[in-house]
Every structure is written in structure tokens, then in C-alpha cells.
Amino acid sequence: MSEGNRVLGDGTAAASGRAGPLDHSYVQVRSTRPLTLPDVDVKARAGETAAELSGVQRRRKRVNAIMLGFASVSSLLAIIPLVAIALFVLVQGVNSLSLDFFTHAESDVDAFGIPLGIGNTIAGTVLIVLVACLVGLPIGLFSGIYLAEYGRGRFADVVRFLADVVAGIPSIIAGLVGYALIVIPFGFSAIAGGISLALLMFPVVTRATEEVLRLVPLSLREGGLALGVPRWKVIASIVVPTAANGIVTSMLLGVARVTGETAPLLFTAFTHPYWEWNPTHPVSALTVTIFNYVNDPDPTKHKMAFAGALVLVAFVVGLNLVARLVFRRRLAGRT
């Protein structure tokens, strides 16, 4: 094949004076139409590969470096506030913690009428969250099982959609509804607060449970059924335990979230300065107390608010760590 037949439009062959390609006897070569548009000639490109870049290429490199650099430090913009908040809570709270803090209720006041401790609020929070768990977790778990194992068709779609709707309600609305439906007829109580929190807790558990159960391979279910195990037992003893990790994770995260909630408790659980174990009575919650004390002019109350904040954050963060690390889930990036 002669050189004239091989056209690239940029004169490589002519410029370097190299011989044409080897003769092939068994392949037919048809001529192709040349690309006639102007282009950077290959020698210049050879130079670019060897690090003498033209202006356009230098700009591309620069933009790339800047944007990727920005991306790399962007995570700091998230981590810095996290660290700042953690340090703030730690520093402010540590000084104010004492044994009295835990062992006294708000009803135990000193000579100036200032509470000696807010142990009752911690107990109150425990009570409220307990109610929320008793109500919300079974709803979440079993509705999730329904969606994964039995749910087909319209009704299941409706359930899913409504679970998503309820998942998205602002926490204050949950509190308002609890107020309207429970407090107005029955008065303030831990149960009212607990139910409001349950509203915030169960939808996430529902969706997470369904997702995790769907991941359990069909072969596991079929194996159980083939052995003659009744379907409900296959689900309860084989499928759910296999998915237990994911389910427990979502439950722990749900508990962590509602423990930190304030708005729904403002007018459901109300406040109550005494140790209280009866859920039908109003109780003080830690979060609401922190809010009230911060708004109070008394500096001692401020200190107690910070101590409370430290206890709250320690619990919530601790629960999050347990949920995410111990019950491992896949996170971050591509595999």
C-alpha cells in the first residue's frame, strides 16, 4: 500500500518519513474518507505528552486540581462543626456534673429554690422512651415483616407510601397531634409523650425492616419450607434472625433519635419536678428541661442544662456508635 493512500490529514507519515505498513495478503483494506477539519498535529500532541502542555491543557489541569482540592477539604466543613459541638458540650458539661445531679429530683430545692439535681428528668426520659419503644417498635417490626413477606399489590403500596409520609412529619407536628388526641381528653402524661415519639420512630423501622428482610435470599426461605417448617415459623425463626443485624440497627438508631427530641414533648409530657414512675402522669423529660433551664435567668440552672446536654449527647452518640459499628452496615464509597 503506498503512502498516498494513507491519509490522516495531519501529515504524520509525511513528516516522519516512515515506511508504509506491512503487506497483508489476506485482509482487504478499503479506502476511507479523510477527516479534513483542522486539528492539532500529532507532533504537538507528542510534546504535550512529554509535559510541554499547551494553554488549554494547562487550564484543564488547573481546574481539575482546584475542584478536586475543594472536594477534598469539603468534608472538613462537616467535621469541624461536629468537633466544635462535641468539644462545646464536653467542656461546658463536665464542670457541672456531680453525683447530686443524678440523685436529686427538681423537687429537691436548696435554700434559694434552685433544684439540686435533675435526676427525675433522666428518669422521665427513660419512661417516655420506654413507652415509645413498647408502642413503636412492634409496629415497625411487624409492619415491616408484613411488607416484606406478605405484602403484594395495592394495600402494601399504600402502607409503604403512608409509612414514608409519617416518616417525614416534623417532630413538632407529632407533638401537636399527641396534644390534640391524648392530652386534651386525658391530660398530660408520659404516655402522650411516648406515643408522639412512637410516631416518629416506627416508620423508619418499618422501611428498614422491609429492606433488610428482602435481602435475605429466597433459598433460605425455600430451604425451611422444604423441610416442612410452617411459613410463619420460617419467617420468625429463620428469616428474621438472619436479618436481625439490620433490624436492630434501625431500632437503635430510632431510639437514639427520639431520645434527643424536644418539640414533641413540650406539650405532651409537660413537666413534673418529682420522681415519677407512673406513665399516666406528666413527667419531665431531659430535653425539655434543658430547653427550659437555658431560657431561665439563673446561672445554676444553666450549668445543670449543660450537664444534662452532656449526658444526652453521650447517650445519643453512644447509641449511634453501637448501632453503626457493632451492628455493621455497609457504608461509604464504592466497593
Partner 1 sequence: MAVVTEDKGNRGLRAQNRLGDRAFEGVTLGFAAVVVLSAVVLLLGILTQAWPALSKVGLGVLGSQVWDPNHDRYGALAFVYGTVVTSLLALLLTGVVGIMIAVFLVELAPPMFARPIGFLVEMLAAVPSIIYGLWGIFVLIPLLIPVEDWLNQHLGFIPLFGGTPAPSGSVLIAGLVLAIMILPTVAAISRDVMAAVPDSQREGILALGATKWEMVRKVVIPYARAGIIGALVLGLGRAVGETMAVTMVIGNDPHVHASLLSPGYSLAAVLANEAGDTVNTLHISALFELGLLLFLISIGLNVLARLLVWSVNRGTARGKRR
Partner 2 sequence: MTANTSDAPARMSIPQDTVAISIQNLNAYYGPKLAVKNVSMDIVRHSVTALIGPSGCGKSTVLRCLNRMHEVIPGAHATGTVQLEGTDIYGPSVDPVQVRRRIGMLFQRPNPFPTMSIFDNVVAGLKLNGRYSRAQLAPIVEQTLRQVALWDEVKDTLGKSAADLSGGQQQRLCLARCIAVKPEVILMDEPCSALDPIATLRIEELIRELEANYTIVIVTHNMQQAGRVADRTAFFMLNDDGTGGLVEYGTTEQIFTAPRDRRTEEYVTGRFG
Sites of contact with partner 2 (CB under 8 A): 1, 5-8, 10, 12, 18-22, 24, 26-33, 35, 37, 39, 42, 45-46, 48-51, 53, 56-57, 60-61
327 near partner 1, judged by CB under 8 A? no
Count of CB atoms situated within 10 Å of the CB of 74: 10
- Find the shortest distance in angstroms from Cβ 7 to partner 1: 23
Number of residues that bind partner 1 (CB under 8 A): 91
- C-alpha cell of 38? 483542522
**Contact present, 144 and 209 (Cβ < 8 Å):** yes
Position 191, amino acid: I
Task: Compute the least distance from the CB of residue 18 to partner 2, in Å.
Answer: 5
| 8 Å CB contact between 261 and 287 | yes
281: its cell numbers: 402522669
114 interacts with, out of partner 1, partner 2, none, CB within 5 to 8 A per kind: none
d(CA 237, CA 15): 77
- Nearest distance, CB of residue 65 and partner 1, angstroms: 8
Residue 248, contacted partner among partner 1, partner 2, none, CB below 5-8 A by kind: none
**Residue 199 interacting with partner 1 (CB under 8 A):** yes
Q: Which of partner 2, partner 1, none has residue 30 at its interface (CB below 5 to 8 Å by kind)?
A: partner 2
Residues in the chain, how many? 335
Decide if 129 contacts 283 (C-beta within 8 A): no
| Binding of partner 1 by 88 (CB under 8 A) | yes
Residue 84 binding target from partner 2, partner 1, none, CB below 5 to 8 Å by type: partner 1
**Where does this chain touch partner 1 (CB under 8 A) — which range of 9-17, 99-107, 124-132, 254-262?**
254-262
Select from 20, 233, 244, 314 the one that contacts partner 1 (CB under 8 A): 233
Tell me the residue type at 295: N
Query: Is 225 a residue that touches partner 1 (CB under 8 A)?
Result: no
Q: Could you give the count of Cα atoms lying within 13 Å of 283 in the half-sphere of its Cβ?
A: 29
Does 77 bind partner 1 (CB under 8 A)? Our answer is yes
Supply the minimum distance, in Å, between the C-beta of residue 69 and partner 1: 10
The entry of partner 2, partner 1, none near residue 215 (CB within 5 to 8 angstroms by kind) is none
Amino acid at 54: S
The answer to whether residues 285 and 272 touch, using CB atoms and an 8 Å cutoff, is no
Contact 249, 329 (CB under 8 A): yes
Q: Where are the beta strands (DSSP E) in 102-229?
A: none
Q: Residue 101: how many CB atoms within 10 A of its CB?
A: 21
Residue 5 or 107: which CB sits closer to partner 2? 5
Q: Which of 50, 111, 226, 331 binds partner 1 (CB under 8 A)?
A: 331
Dist. CA 188–CA 179, nearest whole Å: 8
- Select from partner 2, partner 1, none the partner in contact with residue 171, using the beta carbon and a kind-dependent cut-off of 5 to 8 Å: partner 1
CB of 320 to partner 1, least distance (A): 4
Handedness of CA 131, 177, 206, 249 (dihedral sign): negative
Residue 219, binding choice from partner 1, partner 2, none, Cβ under 5 to 8 Å by partner class: none
